Amino acid sequence: MIRLSRLADYGVVLMTHIAGDAERPCAAHAVAAATRIPEPTVSKVLKALSRHGLLESHRGVNGGYTLARAPSEISVTEIIAAVDGPIAMTECLDADGGACSLETFCPTRGSWLKINNAIRQALDEISLADMIAPTLLFPPPAAPGERRRLIS
């Protein structure tokens, strides 16, 4: 029903992997090999993450990516936002808005904001450190690259 884009999912997986590899810079191809995610895609996601200040990049030989902050200081929200970006948000604001407002004053808007906040808060409370923590008392591992991960 509510879905997370595949790339955003990748983003979280990649971040957790880099967080697990401590201080040494992780090259894109190394992370790709470890996570089994196609390398060009990994590169794309990592670039987005570094552009948004979640990763630091180091060029040249033995370069790669390192976390820009401590895992506990990075929320899942940030990761998702960095990869997927705040698309569509503007469409609701700068769009015509007249097609609906004419008859119905869209009373649902206020509630949507409430829902938005609730979800955002739930995501904000989970940091990258929480993702690394061994919460995997859970049965079978899921593929990180299935089509789309259901959220709710």
Partner DNA sequence: GCGAATGAGGACCGCTACAGTCCTGTATGT
Partner DNA sequence: ACATACAGGACTGTAGCGGTCCTCATTCGC
Report, in Å, the least distance between residue 81 CB and a copy of itself. Answer: 5
Report, in Å, the least distance between residue 60 CB and DNA. Answer: 3
Helix, strand or coil for residue 33?
A: helix
Of 60 and 134, nearer to a copy of itself (C-beta) is 134
Amino acid at position 109, single letter: R
**Does the protein bind a copy of itself through residue 56 (CB under 8 A)?**
no
Q: Is 4:139 a contact under the CB 8 Å cutoff?
A: no
Q: Which residues, listed in sequence order, are joined to residue 64 by a DSSP beta bridge?
A: 58
**Does the protein bind DNA through residue 41 (CB under 7 A)?**
yes
Report the run of H or E that residue 67 belongs to, with start and end: strand 64-67
**Does the protein bind a copy of itself through residue 146 (CB under 8 A)?**
yes
127 secondary structure, DSSP code = B
Of the ranges 13-21, 99-107, 130-138, 144-152, which one interacts with DNA (CB under 7 A)? Answer: 144-152
**Does the protein bind DNA through residue 134 (CB under 7 A)?**
no
143 secondary structure, DSSP code = P
**Site track 106-125 with a copy of itself (rule: CB under 8 A), x = hit:** xxxxxxxxxxx-xxxxxx-x
